[in-house]
């Protein structure tokens, strides 16, 4: 098995004082790999310690071209990368349908490439039994928008629409590599969003695994549809504290640019923990509001809700309000990482290359470290 683990650094090598075990991840971000994706680079890329870091792994996965990194291939790579102690399963199209994940399956049905629901489990001995971290990632390996086709300009960047899933895979590897005594389940919903002959349509009504019905009004709002069933699954499998990461809305990029991710939560203590981990790790994050009166944005005349609004207002919030319907009971947070996860140009700091930044890996490692501290 290939490690995706920790680059060891001595205190004198650190550019700033960070005391937690996750410091190696913060440190590694100051070394840009200076490499472009090749078929070999994921396994060949070595850090000075001799081991590729999770952040680098995450950013390379985000940069992978969509003809090479299909959902099936992402599942294979995840299995190959998983450190000792992490079990990986991947469910195919038929199994996704059989689990009544009608929302996820609808997004996937327009592509000949099979979807995968990738599930990673880490259950270390000595972990407390009353806390299971649930990490949920959106991994659309290419997003054309589907029948609600995106404009041609910039569409090539939609290979980065799996950055949330990449961060979750790498973050899970980091937790296991750091040997944190924390039960963790990661659920990555991976699919293409294509306008093929079998593609789902605006007007379709889907039934998600939790039984709620969704009127599709825009097939480009697919991320929340795959996450809906993945969130439900994470909760079904016993996650007590859930955090999803997704390149979900252009509206969040417009609001916060490429420096901060925005996030939403139904629980103040969970939100505070995530915000603190974000600031300590260097993955900047800012809390945005949820409110019951936003619910009217996703109200449908034909189903329990619709997946998009025709009002050009609060786009990131209504996506979060939508997800809340599937997040179950207990603390949950949704991180909309559309801005900082995949850069269209140099950010002018240590992230000087366009492409995947590995955003979220440090935050996950820091958060998990703090939970068990
Ligand atoms: Zn989309």
Q: Please name each of the domains of the chain with its CATH number.
A: 11-372 (3.40.630.10)
Residue 336 has pLDDT above 80, yes or no: yes
Q: Which of 27, 51, 224, 306 is catalytic?
A: 224
**Closest C-alpha among 184, 194, 189 to residue 208:** 189
Q: Which of 14-18, 23-27, 203-207 has the highest mean pLDDT?
A: 203-207
How many percent of the chain have pLDDT more than 90? Answer: 73
User: Out of 1-10, 223-232, 256-265, 281-290, which region has the weakest mean confidence (pLDDT)?
Assistant: 1-10
Residue 289, both tokens? 């509001």
- pLDDT recorded at residue 44: 31
CB 247 within 8 A of CB 338: yes
Residue 169, both tokens? 């895979």
Q: Where does the pLDDT of residue 53 fall: very low under 50, low under 70, confident under 90, or very high at 90 and above?
A: low
Mark whether 306 is an active-site residue. no
Question: Tell me, what DSSP letter sits at residue 261?
Answer: E
Residue 35 has pLDDT above 50, yes or no: no
- pLDDT recorded at residue 270: 98
In the chain, count of helices (H) and strands (E)?
A: 12, 13
CB 250 within 8 A of CB 338: yes
User: Out of 17-26, 84-93, 129-138, 155-164, which region has the weakest mean confidence (pLDDT)?
Assistant: 17-26
Neighbours of ion ligand 1 (CB under 5 A): 143, 220, 222
What's the 194 CA to ligand 1 centre distance in angstroms?
10
What's the 140 CA to ligand 1 centre distance in angstroms?
8
Q: Is 179 left (phi over 0), alpha (psi -120 to 50) or beta?
A: left
What's the 191 CA to ligand 1 centre distance in angstroms?
11
The pairing of beta strand 241-246 with beta strand 213-215: unpaired
Output the CA angle 360-232-370, nearest 5 degrees. 35
CB 134 within 8 A of CB 233: no
CB 52 within 8 A of CB 81: no
């Amino acid at each position: 098995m290939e490690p995706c683990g920790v680059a060891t650094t001595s205190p004198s090598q650190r550019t700033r004082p960070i005391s937690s075990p996750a410091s190696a991840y913060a440190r590694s971000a100051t070394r840009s790999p200076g490499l472009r994706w090749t078929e070999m680079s994921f396994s060949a890329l070595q850090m000075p310690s001799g081991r590729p870091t999770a952040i680098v792994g995450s950013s390379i996965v985000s940069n992978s071209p969509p003809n090479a990194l299909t959902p099936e291939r992402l599942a294979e790579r995840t299995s190959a990368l998983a450190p000792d102690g992490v079990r990986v399963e991947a469910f195919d199209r038929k199994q996704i349908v059989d689990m009544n994940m009608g929302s996820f399956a609808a997004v996937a049905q327009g592509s000949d490439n099979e979807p995968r629901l990738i599930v990673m489990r880490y259950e270390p001995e000595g972990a407390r039994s009353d806390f299971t971290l649930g990490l949920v990632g959106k991994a659309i390996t290419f997003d054309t928008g589907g029948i609600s086709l995106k404009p041609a300009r910039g569409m090539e960047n939609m290979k980065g629409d799996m950055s949330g899933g990449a961060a979750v895979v790498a973050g899970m590897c980091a937790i296991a590599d750091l040997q944190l005594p924390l039960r963790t389940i990661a659920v990555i919903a991976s699919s293409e969003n294509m306008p093929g002959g079998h593609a789902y349509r605006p007007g379709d009504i889907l039934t998600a695994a939790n039984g709620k019905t969704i009127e599709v009004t825009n097939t480009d709002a697919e991320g929340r549809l795959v996450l809906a069933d993945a969130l439900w699954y994470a909760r079904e499998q016993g996650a007590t504290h859930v955090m999803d990461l997704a390149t979900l809305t252009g509206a969040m990029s417009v609001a916060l640019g490429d420096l901060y991710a925005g996030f939403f939560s139904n629980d103040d203590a969970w939100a505070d923990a995530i915000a603190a981990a974000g600031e300590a790790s260097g993955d900047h994050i800012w809390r945005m509001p949820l409110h019951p009166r936003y619910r009217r944005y996703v109200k449908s005349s034909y189903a329990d809700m619709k997946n998009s609004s025709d009002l050009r207002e609060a786009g990131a919030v209504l996506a979060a309000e939508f997800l809340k319907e599937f997040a179950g009971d207990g603390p949950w947070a949704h991180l909309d990482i559309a801005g900082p996860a995949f850069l269209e140009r140099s950010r002018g700091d240590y992230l000087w290359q366009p492409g995947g930044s590995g955003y979220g890996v440090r935050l996950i490692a820091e958060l998990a470290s703090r939970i068990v501290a």
